[in-house]
Amino acid sequence: MPRAKLRTPELRDRVLHAAVTMLAEHGVVGFTARKVATAAGTSVPAVYELFGDKAGLVREVYFEGFRHLGRRLEAFGPTQDPRADLTRILAAFRIFVREHPVLADVMFSRPFADFDPGPAEPRATASVRTLIVGHVQRCVDTGQLAGDPTDIAHVLLALAQGLAAQETAGWLGRSAASRDRRWSLAVRAVFAGLGPT
């Protein structure tokens, strides 16, 4: 009698963890369903049954990246200084990208030809987007920033993504001091430009 197939939530979590780990250790080029299956102690057909195909597995890695980033950002509760809180959120984003460059690449740069986020994927980013917009809204409400909170959140996230990409690629400076100085300069400049007139 053939062995029963056990496509459990635990196996799904194990495969997803193996996929995230494999990306971190071997990058996009070394990422295959076969290697992920081997690392998770299962088979390629099991991976495809759980995730549909390689693109489905990458989609779940994409979702997992945003869940991880969301948990990181939610750890910062609000204080009496909304602008300082928003600055801490941007710093936490920077650290996340520095610690998980390949995962951030999957989340923001689309390195896999067979995965392009469609209309359903924005739900993965909703909690992060809502959190950042909420912090910006507090700055607008207290008069520290002026403008539409959603527009400002997009600008700040684009700034952070660009700076993080430059830093990860080694183009933002050779020393930690120069990289920190340039991050600080960019954030201060954008805050100044978005301040009330």
Per-residue pLDDT of the chain (197 residues; tens, 9 = 90+): 344 455 788 999 999 999 999 999 999 988 999 999 999 999 999 999 999 999 999 999 999 999 999 999 999 889 999 999 999 999 999 999 999 999 999 998 888 888 877 776 677 788 898 999 999 999 999 999 999 999 999 999 999 999 999 999 999 999 999 999 999 999 999 999 999 97
- Cα 137–chain centre separation: 21
Residues 6+ apart with CB under 8 A from 110: 116, 117
Residue of 159, 26, 32 whose CA lies nearest to 86? 159
Q: Of the candidates 14, 32, 52, which is a domain's last residue?
A: 52
Domain with residue 11: its CATH number is 1.10.10.60
Give the tokens for residue 94: 């920077």
Which domain range does residue 16 map to? 1-52
Mark whether 19 and 69 lie in a shared domain.
Answer: no
Q: How many domains does the chain have?
A: 2
Task: State the sign of the Cα–Cα–Cα–Cα dihedral 176, 83, 74, 28.
Answer: negative
Mark whether 19 and 68 lie in a shared domain.
Answer: no
Mark whether 180 and 113 lie in a shared domain.
Answer: yes
Q: 3-state DSSP: the chain helix, strand, coil percent, rounded to 5?
A: 70, 0, 30
Mark whether 142 and 175 lie in a shared domain.
Answer: yes
Give the tokens for residue 78: 């609000």
Contact indicator for 46, 37 with CB cutoff of 8 Å: yes
Residues 6+ apart with CB under 8 A from 49: 5, 7
Mark whether 47 and 70 lie in a shared domain.
Answer: no
